[in-house]
Amino acid sequence: MISKGCEQCAMGGKMVLFVYGYCDQRDCFYCPLGENRKNVTDVYANERKVESDADVIEEAKRMDALGSSITGGEPQEALDKTCRYISLLKDEFGEDHHIHLYTGITGGRENMRRLAEAGLDEIRFHPPLELWGDMHGTEWEDILYIAREEGLTPAFEIPGIRAEQEFLDFLDEGAAEFCNINEFEMSDGNYRRMQEKGYELQDGHMSAVDGSKEAILDEMGDHERVYFCTSVFKDAAQHRNRLKRMARNLRRPFDEVTDDGTLVYGKTYTPAERFIELGVPDEFYSIKSNHVEVAWWLLEEMIEDGDVDDGEIVEQYPTYDGTVVERTPLA
């Protein structure tokens, strides 16, 4: 089974809203947060550092977002801010803008009530690893029913460290709606700690950890409400589709959108007057403060014909920071 939030994520339609970098409850050795996100109060909408509410709305519009995912750190530890952003998104985009939240604490009924009143649709719990198998009869069982009573869809989202029957039991008992299992991964933020615990990368993989996937799929993968999200899928589908969505939304008439979701165009420091002299149609170029951006194929032709001396083909991400992937000189 795949939830509505996951469907939107697979389509590249979920904006990731990072609201708070602290997590005071525990220090998980597998926490993937990098140094720029850990123990900060900054807010990020996708890659964009948020300076105002308008930034959040603009970033969602840049990618034509279908919904948003709220993450951290621990969003429930900054509940006022978390609820404000949920309400902001719902007020701007309406009830169909699906919002889910990741949390590593139970929070209690008051938190569930406030999140539901703000407009949250779905809450995904990540219980501490040391409690897996012993959650029945604890606050972790109670919170699933409380969340549902308050109008939220309760679910689990856990790292694929090992198989655990108790998560299937919660699904069969009707306590949780679904369980997402993310392939266990190493990142810049957790690599050293993971190695100290004896974990290694799979051969030929950039992030997937060796050894856990097969056992989990064998023991849990047949359940209709369990979804195993691979690291390859997250990169090849979720992330790439979000880039494509953004690129299609932002592209100028002369930009080319690649299969990877990047934008390709030409760049030259030739004076803009030269383009006017040559009668280049306006839709094929854009004048910047100290250069001209132009259809890459047209710039190639102009250089071959001797109309322009030099330039380059630029490939960049359509993200707010506009990271350049590659520059190819033309002369």
Q: Which CATH number describes the domain made up of 4-245?
A: 3.20.20.70
Q: Which helix (H) or strand (E) holds 132?
A: none
Return mean pLDDT, the chain.
93
For residue 301, give every residue at least 6 positions away whose Cβ sits within 8 Å of its Cβ, in sequence order, or none.
none
Pick from 232, 11, 25: nearest CA to 125:
25
DSSP state of 236: I
pLDDT at res. 181: 93
Pick from 173, 243, 177: nearest CA to 14:
243
- b vs e for 5-39, b when ≥16 Cβ sit within 10 Å of the residue's Cβ? bbebbbbbbbbbbbbbbebeeeebebbbbeeebee
Rounded to 10 degrees, what is the CA torsion of 21, 27, 29, 35?
30
Q: Hunting for tokens 């380059």 — which residue is that?
A: 312
pLDDT, tens only, 118-161: 999 999 999 999 999 999 999 999 999 999 999 999 999 999 99
Task: Report d(CA 16, CA 136) in Å as an integer.
Answer: 31
Pairing of strands 153-160, 122-125: parallel
Task: Report d(CA 10, CA 226) in Å as an integer.
Answer: 16
Q: Which helix (H) or strand (E) holds 223?
A: none
Q: Which helix (H) or strand (E) holds 83?
A: helix 79-93
Decide if pLDDT at 195 tops 90: no
pLDDT at res. 104: 95
Q: Which residue has the higher pLDDT, 301 or 37?
A: 301
pLDDT, tens only, 215-230: 898 999 899 999 998 8
